[in-house]
Amino acid sequence: MKKRVYLDHNASTPVSKSVQKAFQRALSCFSNPSALYSSARESKEKIESARDIISTQLDCEPHSIIFTSSGSESNNHVLQSMFFRTFPFTNKPPHFILSAIEHSSLKTTAERLAQLGAAISYLPCDSQGYVVPSQLHAMITDQTCLISVMLANNEIGTIQPIQDIVAIANDHGRICVHTDAAQAIGKIPVSITSLGVDFLSFSGHKFSAPKGIAGLYVKEDSQLTPLIYGGSQERKLRASTENVPGIIALAEAIKTIDPNTYIAQIQPLRAQLLSGLETLTHPSLIHNNFSDKVLSNTINVAFPGVSGHTLAMQLDLAGIEVSTGSACSVGAIEPSHVLEACGVPKDINLSSLRISLGLETSPQDIDYLLSTLSDLLSRTH
C-alpha cells in the first residue's frame, strides 16, 4: 500500500486514542437523560459533568454551553434565531454584518435570510486577510442586530481582532457579536470571558472528537430562540435527546488539548515546510498566508500556472491528502471566496493548496510532501 500522509486537519482531525476510549465507555450510558430512573440520572449527571469540563476550558459559565450536532448547526442557530425573534413580527428587517471570509454555513444562511427579508452587509478584509474593525462604524444601522466574525479562518488561518469588534458593537448599543471558533479551539488559547462575545460556535471533530457533536456558547438565554423544537432539553433551546457518548467524548477531547503544547509541536513542522517550499523547482510560488498572526498549522500556497485541483488529485494518487479552497459547482471550479476577498487574482486563487498540519504530522511526512511536490511540479515546467 502507498504511504498515506494526512495534511488536511482543518477539514477534520483523527479521533485521539483517549477520546476513543472515553466514547466507547460512554456507550454503556444508553438511558434517555430525560427519564426519571437511576440509569437516566447517571446519563444526565455525565452530561452536566462534561458541561463543567468544557466551560472550564473555555472560561465561561457551565449553563451558557448548549450541545449541538455540528458547527454548522450552531452557526445556523445563531443567525436564524436573531432573525426570527424580530422578523416578521415587525416591519423593520433585521440587519446582519458578516465578515467577507466567513464559513459557508454562515454565508449561505445569511443569503437565505436575505431572501426572507433580512439586510446583509459584509465587512471586508484587507489584503492580508484581516477585517478592519474601524470600518464597522459606517456599516452599523439602527437595525443591526448581529455582527459575526470568525475567530480563526479555515483557509488562510488569520486570527481576527474579536475584542475590538465587541468594543465597537458595545459603543453602538446592544448589538450582539458571534464568533465561529471552530478552527481556533485547541490551536490557540480561547477565553470566552476575555473575548466578550455573545455567541461562540465550536465543533468537536476539529480537535480530536468524533463528528456529530459540537457546542454553542450563549451569554443570555433570552438572546436565542430554538432552531429545533420538541422537548425541553438544553434549557429548551435545543430539543432532541442528547448524544451522551458524543458529549462525553467532546469533554475528553477539550480536556486533553493544550494550545501552547500544540503550537510548540507544530511550529517546527511549519518552519520545515515553509523552508522546503522555498527550495522547490517551481519558480513563482506564492504564499497566501499573508502575515505571521495566523494559526501555526495552516499554510496556503499557490503554484501559478498549475491547477490546484489537479495538483491535489495528483498528491492524492501519491498518498498525500490536502485540500483547495476552490469548489466544484455545476461542472466548473469556483475560486475560493476567502482568497477572493483578500484580492487574490482568480488564476492564483485556482492554483492554491491548503496544507493544514496536526499533532499526528511528522517531519517525515513533511519531507515526503516536499519531495512529491518537487517531482510533480518539475513535470509541469
**Catalytic residue at 60?**
no
Q: In angstroms, what is the C-alpha Rg of the chain?
A: 22
The end-to-end CA distance of the chain, in Å, is 29
Whose CA is closest to 154, among 312, 352, 311, 356?
356
Q: Which helix (H) or strand (E) holds 287?
A: strand 286-287
CB 52 within 8 A of CB 43: no
Nearest to 200 by CA among 86, 84, 54, 13: 54
Residue in 200, 269, 166 with CA at minimum distance from that of residue 55: 200
Question: Could you give the CA distance from residue 160 to residue 162 in angstroms, rounded to a whole number?
Answer: 6
Alpha-carbon distance of 93 to 234, in angstroms, equals: 29
Active-site residue, from 60, 176, 328, 342: 328
Reference 296, options 186, 206, 204; nearest CA is 186
Q: Which residue has the cell 511550529?
A: 267
Whole-Å CA distances, 16 to 85, 198, 250: 40, 30, 11
Active site residues: 328
